[in-house]
Amino acid sequence: MAELARVRVGTAYDVVIGRGILEAAADLVPATATRALLVHSGALPEVVARVREALDARGVRVVEGLVPDAEAAKTLAVAGDLWSLLGRESFTRTDAVVGVGGGTVTDLAGFVAASWLRGVPFVNVPTTVLAMVDAAVGGKTGINTAEGKNLVGAFYEPLGVVCDVDVLATLPERDFVAGMAEVIKAGFIADPRILELVEEDPASARGVGRHTVELIGRAVAMKARVVSQDLREAGLREILNYGHTLGHAIEQHAGYTMRHGDAVAIGMVFAAELAHRSGLIDSALLARHRDILSLVGLPTTYAGAPLDALLVAMGRDKKTRGSTLRFVVLEDLAQPTRLVGPAPELLQSAYDSLGTTA
C-alpha cells in the first residue's frame, strides 16, 4: 500500500493509491460503526464483493444501497431512497457510508453521508480514472437537477479514499481515456510533467501502462495541494474547473449522455482559444492542447449546439457572479488565471473555432 497524497483541510485524510488494496476501505471505517451503507451500481460485482467481505470481517453489518448507473444515480429521488433506507436501518452518527464506483456514485454517497443526521462518516472507493483523480478527492459531493449539474451539494470530507489501480483494467478504453481528460487538465494548470509523460507514452493514457500510476498519482497530488489550501472554492480551487464551464454546459445540453471527460476536453480547447484570442497564450500552447488531447483519443471539436443554447447553462455555472461569466484560462503553461466577462464576439469566435480541426 503506497500513500501518494495526504489532503489537509482542517482534518487530514489519505488518498491511498496501490494495487490489490480494495480491502483497505474497511480499515478506514470507524471502529464504532456497527453498520455501513454500501452504495454501488452493481456494475462491478467482484469489486463490491471484496469490499463487502472486508467489512463483514470487521464485524460491520452491510446494508446494500444499490443505485442506477452513471448520472441517473445523482438525482433527488435516488438520494431520497437512500435516506429512507438509512432511516429504516436506524443509522446513527457512528455508522458509515461507503461509496464504491465511478464519480457519480461517490458524489451521491458523499452527499447522502453529508446530509444524513447532518453528517456521518464515509469512505470513497473510486473505480474509474475520473473518480480517482477528480470526483472522489477534495470533499465535493452533490446531485444534479433539471437546471444543471452539481447545483445541489455540500463540501464534506471522506475519512479516506482507496484507489486500487488494478480495478482500472476492467474499464472500456473509451471510459479510461475520458477519465484522462482530468489528468491532462492537471498537467496544463499545474504539473507540466504530466503532459510530457503522455507525449512520451500515449498508451499509458489509454490503459494501464508504465506511466499510468504516476499519471494518476501526480493528478491526485496536484488536487490535494489545491484543496488543502481552499476547501470551499473561495479562490484558488477554481483553477480545477479548467475546461468545465463549457464542458458542463455541453453535458447538460446532451442530457448527460456525453462522457464528462469528453466534454471537459472540448472545454479545455475552448478555454485555450479564449486565452489565445485574448493575447494571453501563444499559438504553440494552443496547438499543444489539441495535439495532446487528440493523441490519446479525446475530442477537440464540437458543433452539437448553438452557443446561445449553451450560454444559458454557463450562466448557472458556480463561477458566474451575477450575470458575469468567468472562465479559468491560462496565461502560460501551469499559470492559470481568470477571464472575467469576455465580450460576446470573443466567445462566439472561440466557439466557432471548435467546429474546425485547427
Active site residue ranges: 118, 140, 182, 223, 233, 237, 241, 244, 248, 260
Q: What is the DSSP string of 153-188?
A: EEE---SEEEEEGGGGGGS-HHHHHHHHHHHHHHHH
DSSP codes of every residue in 193-248: HHHHHHHH-GGGGTSS-TTHHHHHHHHHHHHHHHHHH-TT-SSGGGGGGTTHHHHH
Q: Quick one: cell of 310? A: 449553451
Residues paired with residue 11 on neighbouring β-strands, in sequence order: 9
Does residue 185 have a known ligand-binding role? no
Residue 40 assigned ligand-binding role: no
How do 335-340 and 326-332 pair as beta strands?
antiparallel
| Greatest Cα pair distance in the chain | 62
Helices (H) and strands (E) in the chain, counts: 13, 11
Q: Does residue 319 have a known ligand-binding role? A: no
Establish whether 260 is an annotated binding residue. yes
Q: Is 74 annotated as a binding residue?
A: yes
Give the residue among 81, 141, 137, 53 at the shortest CA–CA distance from 105: 141
Is residue 332 marked as binding?
no
The response to whether 71 counts as a known ligand-binding position is: yes
Sheet of 11-18: strand order equals: 2-9, 11-18, 160-164, 122-126, 96-101, 35-40, 61-66
Does the annotation list 276 as a binding residue? no
128 is in an annotated binding site: yes
- Note the Cα 47 to chain centre separation in Å: 20
Instruction: For residue 73, say whether it is annotated as part of any ligand binding site.
Output: yes
Take residue 99 and report the three cell numbers written for it: 461509496
Query: Is 147 part of any known ligand binding site?
Result: no
Which uninterrupted H or E stretch holds 16? strand 11-18
Phi first, then psi: give them for residue 353, nearest 5 degrees.
-65, -20
Residue 101 near residue 44 (C-beta atoms within 8 A): yes
CB atoms under 10 Å from CB of 185, counted, come to 30
Q: Which residues are annotated as a binding site for NAD(+)?
A: 69-74, 127-128, 140, 149
Q: Which residues are annotated as a binding site for Zn(2+)?
A: 182, 244, 260
